[in-house]
Chain A
Amino acid sequence: DVKVTQSSRYLVKRTGEKVFLECVQDMDHENMFWYRQDPGLGLRLIYFSYDVKMKEKGDIPEGYSVSREKKERFSLILESASTNQTSMYLCMVAGGETQYFGPGTRLLVL
């Protein structure tokens, strides 16, 4: 089974801090995604990557950036965290007609 790990389960940051969320997969899948999940809004796509150094914006990229320097690792960066970025962040890896989710990072921005 593919394993998808995220660097933190819970994170508390202050407004204005730079925040790094990391997602690592243990298989050789090309497609990796970052979503945020908010009550009543479902999962909204922030960014995705289909290969090393390749990235595309999703529906809500503002205030976020991403990095994919190695195939197994996809990082989400909040350049200057704001309170409206308090959310659950989910990493997804897609490959072989199946999707695999990380456990999620619950981020609180104070």
Chain B
Amino acid sequence: AQSVTQPDIHITVSEGASLELRCNYSYGATPYLFWYVQSPGQGLQLLLKYFSGDTLVQGIKGFEAEFKRSQSSFNLRKPSVHWSDAAEYFCAVGPYNFNKFYFGSGTKLNVKP
């Protein structure tokens, strides 16, 4: 069965510190992987996506993610967190033809001054 697991419900980091949000997936076919961010009261915004090729993908707002097939993971990273990064982050997986799409349960990021 297809599923996406984000094991951390809440994470708190200090401003300026590095960040890594974990995502593990279970998918029967070649996955397309995505990270979204949702600020309070806002819609979902795409941060980055991975389809094929280089396993380290760059996204907006200084985020990057690394696809590791052997670990079924697609972790999101940022070298230095800003207070405006406080939001909820969702990992998602879908097939090449996007006829199904699954989201993780989300990780809420809190940034300490």
Chain A residues close to B by CB (< 8 Å): 30-31, 33, 35, 40-45, 48, 50, 56, 58, 90, 92, 94-95, 97-99, 101-104
Contact = CB atoms under 8 A, between A and B. Distances in A.
Interface string B72-113: 000000000000000000100010011111111110000000
A35 B105 CA distance: 12
Interface residues of B, number: 21
Nearest to A102: B43
Interface of B: 6, 9, 32, 34, 43-44, 46, 49, 51, 90, 94, 97-106
Nearest to A42: B105
Contacts of A45: 100-103
B99 A31 contact: yes
State the 5 A-B residue pairs at the shortest beta-carbon distance, nearest first: A42-B105, A94-B98, A43-B103, A50-B99, A42-B106
B9 A99 contact: no
B101 A42 contact: no
Nearest to A44: B103
Contact of B103 (A42, A48, A56, A104): A42
Given A94-B101, A97-B49, 12 more contacts: A31-B99, A33-B101, A40-B105, A42-B6, A43-B90, A45-B100, A45-B101, A50-B99, A58-B100, A90-B44, A94-B98, A102-B43
